[in-house]
């Protein structure tokens, strides 16, 4: 169940658009901010608010990697492995993370601190290889840089 605050915010988002379902992405983000990840029930609730078929809302949610369909840790590490990043060694970056954290693709560390995901192009090819942790971009990655970054994540 979404909180009344979240529902309020979704209604505000709806008001911005000529058609209710245009607010899908906003609404999903609002819900995710509140619940951490999106579940069947939450999607049904949002679809109801947006007066749209639930399957069409799930199409949006499932398409974008920024919407979590499973619980994620405190830090959601999203490594881009698309073309540009891949040419500049993102595979290696991913493996490095995997080894450091002891988890595989899509998994979360047992202390619920880190989740490691592989994502498609994040539109920052010029600074490849890159990744996103929660809402922030980290660019021109190297092993040393990653070790530094991980130290700052408490």
Q: What value does the CA radius of gyration of the chain take, rounded to a whole number of Å? A: 17
Does the footprint of other proteins cover residue 120 (CB under 8 A)?
yes
Number of residues that bind ligand FES (CB under 6 A): 12
CB of 59 to other proteins, least distance (A): 4
CB of 98 to other proteins, least distance (A): 21
* Beta-strand relationship, 136-138 and 131-133: antiparallel
Does the footprint of ligand FES cover residue 128 (CB under 6 A)?
yes
Does the footprint of ligand FES cover residue 85 (CB under 6 A)?
yes
Task: Compute the C-alpha angle 10/13/18, nearest 5°.
Answer: 125
CB of 141 to ligand FES, least distance (A): 11
Q: Locate 138 and state its tokens.
A: 């980290």
Nearer to ligand FES, 23 or 85 (CB): 85
Residue 21, burial from CB neighbour count under 10 angstroms (0-12, 13-18, 19+) = middle
**Closest to 65 (Cα-Cα) out of 137, 118, 130:** 118
What is the contact surface with ligand FES in residues (CB under 6 A)?
A: 80, 82-85, 121-125, 128, 130
């Amino acid at each position: 169940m979404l909180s009344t605050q979240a529902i309020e915010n979704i209604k505000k988002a709806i008001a911005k658009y000529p058609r209710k379902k245009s607010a899908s992405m906003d609404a999903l983000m609002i819900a995710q901010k509140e619940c951490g990840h999106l579940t069947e029930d939450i999607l049904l609730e949002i679809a109801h608010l947006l007066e749209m078929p639930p399957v069409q809302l799930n199409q949006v949610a499932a398409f974008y990697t920024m919407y979590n369909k499973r619980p994620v840790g405190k830090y959601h590490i999203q490594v881009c492995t698309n073309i540009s990043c891949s040419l500049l060694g993102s595979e290696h970056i991913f493996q490095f993370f995997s080894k450091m954290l002891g988890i595989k693709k899509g998994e979360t560390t047992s202390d619920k601190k880190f989740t490691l995901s592989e994502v498609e192009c994040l539109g920052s090819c010029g600074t490849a290889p890159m990744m996103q942790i929660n809402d922030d971009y980290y660019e021109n990655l190297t092993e040393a840089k990653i070790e530094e970054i991980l130290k700052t994540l408490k």
